[in-house]
Amino acid sequence: MARQSISFTEPNDNWLKTQVENNEYSSKSELVNDLIRQARKQQKQIDWIAAKLDKAESSGFTSDSKEQILSQSKSLLNG
């Protein structure tokens, strides 16, 4: 695993410490890694939506029903 040295603002460092002290996470590293995983998942969702919008805009219309789009969105959100 790669080691990094990063700096946090005081409010962010205090928040990280509180999460660890409350046993939400065992370390700041675990918390930061979890936040990065969440951000990557969100980016994947944003990219999927953007691709659907691009396809819809270039084709004029999508043939997917509201229910299909909702189902696909929920599936993506749930990994």
- According to the model, what pLDDT value does residue 79 have? 67
Query: Average pLDDT, whole number, for the chain?
Result: 91
Indicate whether 61 pLDDT > 80: no
The tens digit of pLDDT for each residue in 13-48 reads 999 999 999 999 999 999 999 999 999 999 999 999
Indicate whether 62 pLDDT > 80: no
Q: What is the C-alpha to C-alpha distance for residues 79 and 71, in angstroms, rounded to an integer?
A: 12
How many CB atoms within 10 Å of residue 42?
Answer: 11
């990557």: which residue's tokens?
40
pTM beyond 0.85: the answer is no
